[in-house]
Chains A and B, each alone.
Chain A
Amino acid sequence: KEGQTPGCHLYPINVTIRSDRRGTCKGTHLVYACVGYCESSAFPSRYSVLVASNFTHNITSASRCCTISKDAKVKVRLDCPRGRHYDEIEILTAKACRCDMCRKSRY
């Protein structure tokens, strides 16, 4: 189960995709995320860092975060009611995870 041990691991999630707000066509697929606990620390900055930042960065954070190190595209088939037609939509899935550089979250 997720998070039993420190580190960054594959974690299955079910993704449901709908073709429109009413969900006329929809499909569900199991994809993988990367979830975990990676090491980080924060400590007083060295003097060279203080000078370089005009004495604003008095803390240094040395951190790793759980990241997707390898991914792949998977096709999800959307099934439509009463119709024979369907759409295929591509979504990413994680294939491997790694504790690596933390990035600014976009949300």
Chain B
Amino acid sequence: AVLCVSMTTPLQSFRGCAVREFSFVAQKPGCKGLHITTEACWGRCHTWERPILEPPFIHRHHRVCTYSRIRHMMARLPGCLPNVSSLYHYPMALQCHCTFCSMEDTECQTF
């Protein structure tokens, strides 16, 4: 969805998957941290589990809200040691959608 979640959207009842502002501290060994504000993904995807007769006896439809279109961004971290590159790469979400969590390019975690 291209819809951006903003303060005017009632987040408690929001369903779907949207671009949302995200702040983090970019850190790597040998440099000082840099506060970065970017766009990431947030939402609630339609998921279910239902009984079936055949093994594995549960049919599952699990999707997560993640990036569908990405812009690759680059920042320069301050205070890096002479032998450490100051470049820090991170993804910015242009668009988000509900899909499988792909372990090819994603660290799939629960919380």
Contact = CB atoms under 8 A, between A and B. Distances in A.
Given A41-B40, A65-B63, A102-B62, A94 B51 contact: yes
B47 interface: yes
B53 interface: yes
A28 interface: no
B40 A56 contact: no
Interface in B22-55: 22, 24, 26-29, 38, 40-51, 53
B47 A42 contact: no
Contact of B57 (A3, A66, A92): A92
B106 A42 contact: yes
Contacts of A62: 109-111
A37 B46 contact: yes
Given A17-B53, A31-B51, A68-B49, A37 B63 contact: no
B38 A44 contact: yes
Interface in A16-51: 17, 31, 33-47, 49
Given A6-B12, A57-B106, A41 B51 contact: no
B56 interface: yes
Given A57-B106, A58-B91, A63-B101, A37 B44 contact: yes
B61 interface: yes
Interface in B45-103: 45-51, 53, 56-67, 89-91, 93, 96, 100-101, 103
Interface in B1-27: 12-15, 17, 20, 22, 24, 26-27
A42 B67 contact: yes
Contacts of B47: 8, 35-38, 65-66, 102
Contacts of A57: 103, 105-107
Interface of B: 12-15, 17, 20, 22, 24, 26-29, 38, 40-51, 53, 56-67, 89-91, 93, 96, 100-101, 103-111
